[in-house]
Amino acid sequence: MFSIKKSLIIIGICGLTALTACQSNIARDGIYEKSGNTINVNTQRADIYNKDRGLNNKNANFGYVRHQKSPILGENVAYNHYAAIDREQIADIISKYCTEIPNVHDVSTLVTDKEVLIIYDTDTANSNRTADQVKRMAMSVVPRWYHVYVSDNTNLRKNVESYATLDSNSRNAHFGINKLIKDMQKSPQGYKMGEGENANGEMPWETKNAGNRK
């Protein structure tokens, strides 16, 4: 009788070990196969962030994502992070947020691969302070290496809109955008972003390489 019980215990332990190993492999495959080097707490998530949690819970849920460097020595996957940015979605968020700023109305936002251009209508009594608020609102949304340019000259809105269907590879796109930025900078840009940076978040060497716009 003791021998039978001992055999059953051994069989049970072996089965539990195999099941645990199987579950571990499934979890690992689910993490890395679906989202590369991104580790999510919920392995049922099919992307870097969960798009299927429902609109009702969207504002209630916290967001958590963990990234690791590639386990392959020397492999640089940073470009995948930048390519993953949904520029139209960011432009939508910035425009919505900026309309919450006092005295700011009708905001148009263009997000390129390295710049944010914002045209807004305002009836503010302090144009420089309002420009600073709009700019910093955009800065809070995009990666810090972005530069933000704002203008309350609504006559430039059509110029900004004309680039909405272009992309980073469009011929002469950057040349035209640089010219547009120069026109936008005739409007108040707010205060300096930080030590060594101008109001648009540019360092001195960046303004020089951009053709000394200011």
The tens digit of pLDDT for each residue in 152-196 reads: 999 999 999 999 988 888 878 888 999 999 999 999 999 999 888
Tell me which residues of the chain have a pLDDT lower than 50: 26-35, 38-40, 42-49, 51, 212, 214
The tens digit of pLDDT for each residue in 100-109 reads: 999 999 999 9
- As beta bridge partners, residue 107 has 120
Neighbours of 198 (CB within 10 A): 19
